[in-house]
Structure 1
């Protein structure tokens, strides 16, 4: 996400995106070119505007795995001895909502 934000803020348009899985790691390949002002939504910045459209098997698997991790993190926050900020919990809940909507 930080790379996509930087690209948008510096007038780069994303031309192509791909998720590659290798040895338990997901890699996102992004091709962009300077094009003038471009605007992406928060969800497009999170998932990738083109990946949301193409929905490749590697992309969907990545987000299925991350959904489980986000649910686990949220439940761990609830049981944590040290309080977790409400903002952090809301951020994770928002991500879970986006991922669930994407996968359905």
Structure 2
């Protein structure tokens, strides 16, 4: 059984009505049409949602650390996970240089 849409029918204004609406909008100083430059600068709302995409994508993993290690990094305040990542990255960098 198909469902019939309950959406109301949209009636487009006539040319005369459209001209009257446009004239009224242009006469309102608070409702001026957007300039071509403003229209070009617009982006879809979904592009603005969420955190910006990082160039350095990180992997989500589940790891277990010693309680004292986690406690130390947490005690350094906000951003402790990034600092922990930085320490591990330095470790890897030093050991990669030494291996080559």
**Same fold by TM-score, threshold 0.5 exceeded?**
no
Relative contact order, CA 8 A, sep 6+: which one is greater? Answer: 1
Q: Which protein is bigger by CA-based radius of gyration?
A: 2
Say which structure is richer in strand: 1
TM normalised by structure 1 equals 0.25
TM normalised by structure 2 equals 0.26
